[in-house]
Structure 1
Amino acid sequence: MGLVGALLFFWASLTPTLLPRGPLFQGVVSGGSAAIGYGIGILVALFLRWLLEWEPPRLVQRIAWWALPVVAVGGTTSILVWFAHWQSHLRTIMSADALRWWAYPLTLAIAVLVWAAIVVVCRGFRWLSRLLTRLGRGFLPRRVAAVVGVVLAGLLVVTLANGVLANWLMSGLNSSFSAINDENEADNAPPDTPLRSGSAESLVTWDSLGRLGRRFVSDGPTVEQIERFTDRPAVEPIRVYAGLASTDGGVVERAQRVVDELERTGALDREVIAVANTTGSGWINEASSTSLEYMFGGDTAIASMQYSYLPSWLSFIADQSRAQQAGQALFRAIAAEVQSRPEDQRPRLVTFGESLGSFSGESAFSGDLDLAAQTDGALFVGPTSNNELWRRFTAQRDEGSPEWLPIYREGLTVRFVSDAEDLKRPETPWEGTRVVYLQHASDPITWWNPDTLLSEPDWLDEPRGDAVLPSAQWYPIITFLQLSADMAVGTDVPDGFGHTYVADYADAWAAILQPPQWTDDDTRRLRKVLAE
């Protein structure tokens, strides 16, 4: 029964979910699924033997053992053919590179290795529990000793994993990513303009910004590029940033340092101030900032700060509170400064973030009314399944709208879009502050959820979104593993799919802020600039 369970789970793991996967991640998913199926099969067999007090005759067992390899080879060959078809279909839809022929045997090899490794670990646990059981039989009843042995073995493993391995791993990861944060990219140099953090006039040093902070203040269009695009006079955009090392204090002090930089650069006299919420390591999608700067002729100030060394996927697991605290502190500090000015002299205040940055940005608000009251617009891109407001808006969506593209309160303030055309959906008036959630139906960062372990998500049960194949089905446990692997390859697909967002920033910002003298043709041209 164990091998039967392993085969069934292995076959199911090769079915499609959201994104095409290469041999490494598909092999890990398939090997892990097979190991789980193997364990479930063994447990089912043990339960049936106990319940029925019967075992099949030896002849039946012998026939089953002879038939199993035939079924395994035939079934695996068939499912691999379908796997190749599904992979090809997804890659064609997404214009992704096709798999080479050797990817399929490599997937099988990796799956077998992963399955074997997990089985060995589980058998090691069984050996440990049996050892403790034998030791306990000297002074405990047999069945009590068996239970105690399993419990003690579990406690030892959990204690070792949490107390020793986890601390060692996190310490190592922190050290590694801290070193990466200190690296300086060859094409980045301290700005020669006082309108950027890290310049000679700045209140924060170049080295303190961190690798991605230095990239942020070094990037962006020049005045000449903006004027060439708009055919109108432009000003130099302002970009300010505070890294983890920019102050000796915590998140509140770091946010205040950002405000100090805004004051130093004269940012409050700009037409737009944008609060950019970063991912875990301090990354900001360049398309999100560049599009704003082109739209407003450089008359913008974009402010951000770092809250972690860790990349988004690790911050998502271990560092969510820091993201929330950073989002709250940064927006509140900047909003207070903006509010201190006379109403007719205030810049337009917007907030945005991608991935974990959207989670951080949301944290400063209690709901759509709060967003409308405190901002002049918000753009949250590729939201995570942990985004509190996103979850609430999605759960309370208008009847008849699907989970992957909900309509919330008739789209009066908040709108969910998958591409530019969705900005017109629904047709009800969109007045006052505009809030946009830009999310792809194929984005695993958005649709990954532990609930998929045991329950089918609405986005698979309802009419499917773009690029989600009709052949994608929900399987307990397996779908969760597949989505977890999809997260690892979320940005390995072209713009418009998965967790890759570039050109649609132009349409989203144009709809949210409706820049003066801006046309649809300007948006189309900007999309091309962003895609370059």
Structure 2
Amino acid sequence: MNTIVTVLRGWWTRWHPSVTGLVMAALAAWVSLMPSLLPRAWHYQGIVTGVSMAVGYGVGVALRTLWQRLAAPRIRVHRDLDALGNRLLAFARLSAPYVLVVYLITATATAIRWQDQVSDLVESPRPPWADYMRIPWIALAVFVGLLVLARGIRAAYRAFVRTIRRRFNLGEYTARLTGFVVIAALLFGVVDGVVPRLFFEAANRVSGVQNDERVPDATRPTTPERSGGPGSVVDFDDLGMQGRRFISGGLDQAALTDLLGEDALEPIRLYAGLESAATDDERSALVVEELNRTRAWERDSVVIVPTTGTGWINPHAAQAIELLSAGDVAIVGTQYSYLPSWISFLADREKAEAAGLSLIEAVVNWRESLPPDVHRPNLYVYGESLGTQAGEAAFSGIRDIRNTVDGVLWMGPPNSNRIWKSLVERRDPGSPVTEPVYADGLLVRFSEDPAEFRSDDTPWIPPHVLYVQHATDPVVWWTPNMLFERPAWLAEPPGKGRHPGMFYMPVLTFFQVTADLGNAIGGSQGYGHLYDHQILDGWAAATGREGWDDDEFRRFARLHDLAMETQARG
């Protein structure tokens, strides 16, 4: 034990840790444990706290450097006080690491109450107390690792400066400035170029392999009402993993009839994958061919679903739509990428928008081109997360949406959505940003929980456009502006599920909500980025379903649960 203590003491002495940096690291750790939008698993919280500590340490070192170089030389104190200050600083430097460890453990213990409150607010189980006590050790490991990396970069910088001073006979400040520029350029190139390129290349390879994977619950359809089935112009093998899941999922006509206790139709599910055709327009054209092949104009409605990332269509949404319509519906989608949704949000937003525009325009033109004597089905748009951004791309604004389709349900829209943002910014005075009111709710509505529209008879001019957004969904509320500007939702009373103790801190709140993005589905249904259990209410509201009340909801919720027992979310 004495040997370990000696090694640790020697290591800390050799590394000469900054007391100011450690103090700032401790403060950053405390902030990272404060209430945010969603509860975090212990291992994820440990990583977040460790990164926060590293950032805090860097800020502390920067402040100390500025003080020593700009302020301290101008201050004169008695040499006895100066000597006393140096002794205190030496003692603080030796004791600070141990104090930091003790502080982390005690701070985590006091933060348990906050985290338990956040878990309760989003109806998520409280983690065991022992899990919380693992956070400090994960945080310390991450912090030390990042500190070692930073020290390595500093050592490389100093070695480079010494080398160019000897070789080119440069002055000290010239060599330091040159070294700073070179190291900064290399780091920027790595962070902005090499790392993202390698990351996206790796993501493409992994996702590409996953896209071709066979999953047990995805089998080639035997009915002509599905793409890849008999007579289809699309090959089932070309649909991608998520496309194959969508096409082979859901209840067929017999199962729907048995479950509903009434005659149902065979639902139509149409899809084109990345390998089905080379471009968005060609994939959209294939879907239109499939609409004609399956005589989709005979159905009551056609639902366009711009997909998210990998081409995923939420099976809960598809099944809810088919249940409420008794199968009298055609659902269509196309794949534009095989990257996960959060990576697509970073790299493929333009692709998502282009694909959404192409698909919606193609289906709208298909309906408009139907002969006058042919039934014209209702046309609806459904989207989730990045799929809402893809859907919005097809329209210039709310008027265009209302003139083009018969209803829209968009759930969990990212903050960067163009139309969503313009509507929220122009909301009626006095309405909160988490549940804004636009034009008295006559044209478009926003809701944290669409259950509020059951038996609702307030004026809502069809077609209905509905956004569902949770007060605890970081996808909805994250924006770079939070770095230095307090968002409106933090200046208002907390929405459903948000901890009242959460308040705005420049820069720090941005990092808190950014961390929540990686944990967006960390709560329970109805909170964060989980909307599955609200799709029935949302779809009934968007389509203006008559007689939708508590009893009808309970009936279909039970049927939906039964229908989803054998279907994976994907």
Q: TM-score, normalised by structure 2?
A: 0.88
Local SS of the residue matching 1:170: helix
Does residue 100 of structure 1 match 2:128? yes
Give 2:30's match in structure 1, choosing from 11, 19, 32.
11
Q: Is the 8 A contact 1:420 1:507 kept in 2?
A: yes
1:320 corresponds in structure 2 to 349
Aligned to 1:32: 51
Provide the rounded CA distance (Å) in 1 between the counterparts of 2:219 and 2:328: 23
- For 2:523 and 2:27, how far apart are their aligned partners in 1? 29
Q: Is the contact between residue 502 and residue 531 of structure 1 (CA under 8 Å) also seen in structure 2?
A: no
Name the SS of the counterpart of 1:277 in structure 2.
coil
Correspondence list, 1:40-51, <5 A: 40-51=59-70
Question: In the superposition, relative to structure 1, how do residues 456 and 251 fare at CA in structure 2: closer, same or farther (>3 Å)?
Answer: same
Counterpart code for 2:30: W
Residue 420 in 1 paired to residue 439 in 2? Answer: no
AA aligned opposite 2:47? V
Question: How much does 1:285 deviate?
Answer: 1.1
Contact 1:226 1:234 in 2 (8 A): yes
List per-residue Cα deviations over 1:311-352 (Å, max 9, x = no partner): 001101111111010000000000000011256731111111
Native 8 Å contact 1:411 1:426 kept in 2: no
Which runs of 5 or more structure 1 residues have no equivalent in the other structure?
none
Q: Distance in 2 between matches of 1:229 and 1:430?
A: 32
Contact 1:254/1:305 (<8 A) preserved: yes
In the alignment, is the contact (CA less than 8 A) between 1:33 and 1:478 conserved in 2?
A: no
| Contact 2:454 2:550 survives alignment (8 Å) | no
Secondary structure of the 1:503 match is helix
Alignment of 1:192-271 (within 5 A): 192-247=222-277, 249-271=278-300
1:301 aligned counterpart, secondary structure: strand
In the other structure, the counterpart of 2:435 is 405
8 Å CA contact 1:503, 1:530 repeated in 2: no
Question: Matched residue of 2:437: which SS?
Answer: coil
1:337 aligns with 2:356: no
Q: Which residue of 2 aligns with 1:142?
A: 172
**Offset at residue 384 of structure 1 (A):** 1.1
CA distance in 2, matches of 1:271, 1:400: 39
**2:329 aligned residue:** 300
Pick closer, same or farther for the CA change 1:191–1:153 going to 2, 3 Å. Answer: same
Q: SS state of the match for residue 303, structure 1? A: strand
Q: Deviations over 1:463-501 (max 9, x none)?
A: 111111111223333323322332222223321111111
SS in 1 for 2:129: coil
CA drift at 1:515: 3.5
Whichever residue aligns with residue 283 of structure 1, its letter is W
CA positional deviation for 1:113: 1.4
* Alpha-carbon separation, structure 2, partners of 1:35 and 1:259: 53
1:180-201 CA distances to partner (integer Å, 9 max, x unpaired)?
Answer: 1111111221111000011132
Aligned twin of 1:527: 557
Structure 2 residue aligned with 1:502: 532
Structure 1, 65-74 or 1-10: larger mean CA deviation: 65-74
Counterpart check, 1:128 vs 2:147 = no
**Which shows bigger deviation, 292-301 or 53-62?**
53-62
Question: SS of 1:525's equivalent?
Answer: helix
Over 3 Å counting, the alpha-carbon distance change for 1:136 and 1:422 in structure 2 is farther
Q: Return the alpha-carbon distance in structure 1 between the equivalents of residues 450 and 389 of structure 2.
A: 22
Deviations 1:243-294 (A, max 9, x none): 10112x2111111111111111111221100001111001111121222212
Which residue of structure 1 aligns with residue 212 of structure 2?
Answer: 182
CA distance in 1, matches of 2:61, 2:430: 43
Equivalent in 464, 469, 489 of residue 519 of structure 2: 489
Number of aligned pairs?
A: 531
- Cα deviations by residue, 1:133-170 (Å, 9 ceiling, x for unpaired): 33443344432321221111011122234443332322
Secondary structure in structure 2 of the residue aligned to 1:126:
helix
Give how far 1:66 is off.
7.1
What is the CA–CA distance in structure 2 between the aligned matches of 1:524 and 1:246, rounded to whole Å? 40
* Structure of greater Rg: 2
In 2, Cα distance between the equivalents of 1:475 and 1:406? Answer: 24
Structure 1 range deviating more: 121-130 or 515-524? 515-524
Q: Is the 8 A contact 2:30 2:107 kept in 1?
A: yes
Per the TM alignment, residue 64 of structure 1 is displaced from its structure 2 partner at its CA by 4.2
Give, in whole Å, the separation in 1 of the partners of 2:143 and 2:508: 14
Q: CA RMSD in A?
A: 2.3
SS of residue matched to 1:195: coil
Deviations 1:98-135 (A, max 9, x none): 21233223211111111112222222222232233334
User: Runs ≥4 in structure 1, deviation > 6 angstroms?
Assistant: 424-427
Gap regions ≥5 residues in structure 2: 1-19, 563-570
1:353 aligned counterpart, secondary structure: strand
| Partner SS, residue 196 of structure 1 | coil
Structure 2 partner of 1:280: 309
- What one-letter code is carried by the residue in structure 1 that aligns with 2:363? I
Match of 2:415 in 1: 385
Contact 2:451 2:537 in 1 (8 A): no
Q: Aligned pair 1:2/2:30, yes or no?
A: no
Task: Give the partner amino acid of 2:424.
Answer: T
Cα separation, partners in 2 of 1:518 and 1:58, compared to 1, 3 Å: closer
Matches within 5 A, 1:111-126: 111-126=139-154
2:120 maps to amino acid: T
Q: Which amino acid aligns with 1:339?
A: E
